[in-house]
Amino acid sequence: MRKQIAAANWKMNLSQNEAETLLDQLLATEHSLSANQEAIFAVPAIYIPLATQKLVGKTNVYVAAQNCHQKDNGAYTGEISASMFASVGVKHIVLGHSERREYFAESDALLAEKVNAVLAIASTPIFCCGEPLAIREAGTQNTFVEAQLKNSLFHLTAEQITKVVIAYEPIWAIGTGKTASSEQAQEIHAYIRSVFASQYGQSIANQISILYGGSVKAANAKEIFSQPDVDGGLVGGASLVATEFAAIINALK
């Protein structure tokens, strides 16, 4: 059975006091996780020790980093390597978020290196892909996303690819209030799975968790997550509200 995942991406938000309050509020809400479900908190790097401490003893709940450097160490002032994150207990790292691609010019080739770095220290890459509005309007989103996947992931072995979580982000639906319909989400998630099936076989493709990452809220999570190829969500703004994110966790299949 594929893992069902509710992943919170806090982005560059919250003071330390606000971060602690949010974690405390979330832990006090009514939410539950079954054996095949996970909740993941991708917090700003400076809050990783705080989040890790708060979540000690929690089952199927993890702290993630929002990015890492592709090198293990070296003269890269201001950067943090995957192995550094692993040394403080981080087991998941978000890679290739649309904001990293747009604002920091992260290429498919660079992301391939980052994926290698994360897998090398036995952590889980949460690999983001997705199209901007112009591509969606042109109807070429499938080939656009397929190229992102092939260029950054298809050098991996079948064993390695099963350790990667995919997060599909319709960039036109992030922070805009627009949301892909559940049918649109299912359509491209199914296509993404077919791309992996073509390369690695259907059995391997069926093991890969594919998350939806476009304006997921408590109000729409259950409908979106009910689609057969949608395995949860990578959640932005709604993850900064404890009751909202708790409801999203509870919406997992």
The domain segmentation of the chain, as residue ranges, is 4-250
Active-site option among 97, 106, 189, 244: 97
CATH topology of domain 4-250: TIM Barrel (3.20.20)
Kindly tell me the sign of the dihedral angle through the C-alpha atoms of 185, 191, 195, 196: positive
Say what the pTM is.
0.97
155 is catalytic: no
137 is catalytic: no
Percent of the chain residues past pLDDT 70, beyond the cut: 98
Separation of alpha carbons 208 and 204, rounded Å: 7
The residues that bridge with 95 in the sheet, in sequence order, are 127
Active-site option among 99, 131, 169, 244: 169
What band does 181 get if pLDDT is binned at 50, 70 and 90? confident
What band does 177 get if pLDDT is binned at 50, 70 and 90? low
pLDDT tens digits, one per residue of 82-111: 999 999 999 999 999 999 999 999 999 999
pLDDT tens digits, one per residue of 8-67: 999 999 999 999 999 999 999 988 899 999 999 999 999 999 999 999 999 999 999 999
